[in-house]
Chains A and B, each alone.
Chain A
């Protein structure tokens, strides 16, 4: 087991380098002069020269690449062009908000989505199933920003149940502020996860070992949860991984609409202000997020499927 984790960690290193390299290349092949892109057409020659010197753009490309890697490994992302704060501090300030939003919305999505899927699968082609499928369909069709706006108008502006913006201070206030944004993402996730649970549970419930469990005298509840769901979790965990990653694109819209701090928000602002180092760091954060989620999902597979555990 420990060997498996170590192996997976080592496995992630090339991916991280690939990601860093891609970010490096992407930032260099942006059309036009990076200095000009960053500072805008109104910048004069002196400003551009200072910028190039500061960003190391005058060095040969290989040296730039090595420096870039060296800095990235040391989590040194340079300084924001707009307010002269180290980018690392900006990341540290914003990352927890995005992580919090992700975790809460995924938990909410799971607690709603999985039981819905079970309900649909065990009532196949009955009203409950149709309702869940309709719910999933609507969840697929609604864009996150639209749902966010609707919920904001209804629950915050009209009913006044929830705050209109910000992230709050302290645990309880923070929780109060995150409910509506997290619910927006969770509704969409639960639609996706509900459908996925239904499909994989139906597939599992048709298998021979389920019949063995019934023949043993196991109750229907036991058959569904102990034998069915446990096996359905294998394909389901891939879906959960996908849905966590989907939070990233969701977070951009949610953080903007609910006016919350976070990496998505940071990135969008940086793009507006052409804050070159922040954009670079933000993109890297998103990429690392993907690597980390994949790593966690690998661990989840091992926990769910004893066969992988035995082999390693």
Chain B
């Protein structure tokens, strides 16, 4: 197997005080190979965004505290100084955010904002950069780029703004693209369009992608591997086929069941009972325990370790490990 492009080890993110920490990301470890497309799924508040932002040290510290290691190209990104980070952010790793309406500077033209990403990482002349910006605008499907290039963001719809954000993220042909629910905030009608476009570009550029989403259907269509997160923990990490064929964690099973009932047009939607516990409420054991249909006594005491179910499939569940289905 090739060397991973990104390797996260024991990532922890917490808020609150030192004595009373609120952990929102707990001992998260996973890796991404060059060119690989990996999906991260989980309910709201499961720590997906915090994990993604930690990679580039974009979580404001304080108030947050981030520990662990994030190896990228042999360097631990969490140890880098701000100036060392600037040569990786936007160049090696591109980032697309959840909120297109507020992710662009309102007093800068979209052309200047894309141009900035190129200017910061290359020696191209202003003219050459403008050509490149137009090229990128065409690439992300911006109609009439020659006039749009000098327009301010508030003249654009959410979909168009997200295209600009994607152009910024792809400007320097990054090795890794982190997309945090890039289409959740958009109109349903254009979600698919923008997503298709983005994933198409990343294929052309051969970038690896970490795609955070709520939508298992999207994951099934575009990703090679899935990471399932819950309350700051990774519960399952598997390749697509293995995960959809035989999910190992009861939470993943629940997620899949709710999607399947949808597609089969049943009258009643399957729902996982209960809701995600707020951070800090579950201190020991498995966080999914209160909602779990197969919970055991042991689950209350000890967080289950990752157990392997094949070459590319791990899950953290006591019940599954002991063969209870």
A234 to B105, CA, bound (A): 13
- Contact call A212/B120, Cβ cutoff below 8 A: no
The minimal Cβ–Cβ distance linking A225 to chain B, given in whole angstroms, is: 13
Check if A215 sits within 8 Å of B107, measured CB to CB: no
| Size of A's binding interface in residues, CB under 8 A | 22
Residue contact A217 to B103, C-beta cutoff 8 Å: no
> Which partner residue on chain B sits nearest A307 by CB separation?
B154
Segment of B26-34, B38-46, B79-87 in the binding face? B79-87
Which chain A residue shows the least CB distance to B56?
A215
Our pick among A213, A219, A220, A306 for the contact of B107 (Cβ within 8 Å) is: A306
B103 touches A216 (CB 8 A): no
Given A216-B117, A217-B89, A217-B91, A209 and B152 contact (CB-CB distance below 8 Å): no
Q: Which residues of B contact A208 (CB under 8 A)?
A: 97, 99, 102-103
A310 interfacial contact with B, CB 8 Å: yes
Query: A212 contacts B88, CB within 8 Å?
Result: no
CB distance from B300 to the nearest CB of A (A): 38
Q: Find out whether the CB atom of A212 lies under 8 angstroms from the CB atom of B165.
A: yes
Asked whether, in the complex, the Cβ of A209 is within 8 Å of the Cβ of B105, the reply is yes
Complex: chain B residue closest to A218, CB-CB: B120
Asked if A67 is at the interface (CB within 8 A of a chain B CB), the reply is no
A245 at the interface (CB under 8 A from B): no
Asked whether A216 and B152 contact (CB < 8 A) given A207-B102, A230-B107, A231-B105, the answer is no
Question: Given A208-B102, A209-B106, A305-B107, is A215 in contact with B152 using a C-beta cutoff of 8 Å?
Answer: no
**A-side contacts of B155, CB under 8 Å:** 310
Q: Could you tell me the distance in whole angstroms from the C-beta of A12 to the nearest C-beta in chain B?
A: 26
Is the CB–CB distance between B58 and A214 below 8 Å? Answer: yes
Question: Does B104 interact with chain A (Cβ within 8 Å)?
Answer: yes
Q: What separation, in Å, do the CA atoms of A310 and B85 have in the docked complex?
A: 36
The answer to whether B105 touches A227 (Cβ under 8 A) is yes
How far does the alpha carbon of A119 sit from the alpha carbon of B103 in the complex, in Å?
Answer: 25
B104 touches A212 (CB 8 A): yes
Do A214 and B107 have beta carbons less than 8 Å apart? no
Docked pose: A307 CA to B103 CA in angstroms: 16
For residue B89, which residue of chain A has the nearest CB? A217
CB distance from B106 to the nearest CB of A (A): 7
Contacts of A212 in B (CB 8 A): 95, 97, 103-105, 165, 168
Query: Is A211 in contact with B91, judged by CB distance below 8 angstroms?
Result: no
Contact of B104 among A209, A214, A218, A234 (CB under 8 A): A209
Question: Which of A208, A212, A219, A227 has the most B CB atoms < 10 Å from its CB?
Answer: A212
Whether A215 pairs with B102 at a CB distance below 8 angstroms is no
Contact of B120 among A207, A211, A217 (CB under 8 A): A217
Q: B148 near A: Cβ within 8 Å?
A: no
Is B116 on the interface with A (CB-CB < 8 A)? yes
Q: Which of A196-222 contact B (CB under 8 A)?
A: 207-209, 211-220
A231: B residues at CB distance < 8 A:
105-107
0/1 string, B90-121, CB within 8 A of A gives 1: 11001101010011111111000000110011
| Measured CA separation A20–B183 after assembly (Å) | 57
Q: Is the CB of A306 within 8 A of B104?
A: no
Contact among B99, B102, B116, B154 for A216, CB-based, below 8 A: B116
Asked whether A216 lies within 8 Å of B107 as measured between CB atoms, the reply is: no
Q: How far is the CB of A232 from chain B (nearest CB, A)?
A: 10
Q: How far is the CA of A209 from the CA of B110 in the complex (A)?
A: 12
Please give, as numbers and ranges, the residues of chain B lying within 8 Å of A257 by CB-CB distance: none
* Set B58, B95, B107: member contacting A304, Cβ < 8 A: B107
Inside 8 A of A216's CB, which chain B residues have their CB?
A: 89-90, 116-117, 120, 168
CA distance A215 to B117 in the complex (A): 9
Distance (Å) between the CB of B142 and the closest chain A CB?
17
Picked from B87, B89, B102, B154, the residue with its CB within 8 Å of the CB of A214 is B89
Rounded to whole angstroms, the CA-CA distance of A204 and B94 in the bound complex is: 23
In the bound complex, what is the Cα–Cα distance between A229 and B48 (angstroms)?
31
User: Contacts of B88 on A, CB cut-off 8 Å?
Assistant: 217
CB within 8 A of A209: which of B103, B117, B121? B103
Q: How far is the CB of A278 from chain B (nearest CB, A)?
A: 45
Measured CB to CB, the nearest residue on chain A to B164 is A212
Chain A residue at smallest Cβ distance from B95 = A215
A218 to B120, CA, bound (A): 7
Q: Which B residues touch A214, using CB under 8 A? A: 56, 58, 89
Is A310 a contact of B120 with CB atoms below 8 Å?
no
1/0 per residue B48-76: CB within 8 Å of A?
00000000101000000000000000000
Q: Which residues of A contact B165 (CB under 8 A)?
A: 212
Counting chain A CB atoms within 10 Å of each CB, the highest count among B91, B94, B107 belongs to: B107
B120 surroundings in chain A (CB, below 8 A): 216-218
What CA separation (Å) do A213 and B87 show in the bound complex?
A: 13
Bound complex: CA of A42 vs CA of B103, how far in Å?
73
Contacts of B94 in A (CB 8 A): 215
Closest to A228 in B: B105
9 A-B pairs within 8 Å (CB atoms) are namely: A207-B102, A208-B97, A209-B103, A212-B104, A216-B90, A217-B121, A220-B82, A234-B107, A304-B107
**A interface residues (Cβ-Cβ under 8 A, vs B):** 207-209, 211-220, 227, 230-231, 234, 304-307, 310
14 further contact pairs, Cβ within 8 A, besides A209-B102, A217-B121, A219-B83: A207-B102, A208-B97, A209-B103, A209-B106, A214-B58, A216-B116, A216-B117, A217-B85, A218-B86, A219-B82, A227-B105, A231-B106, A234-B107, A307-B152
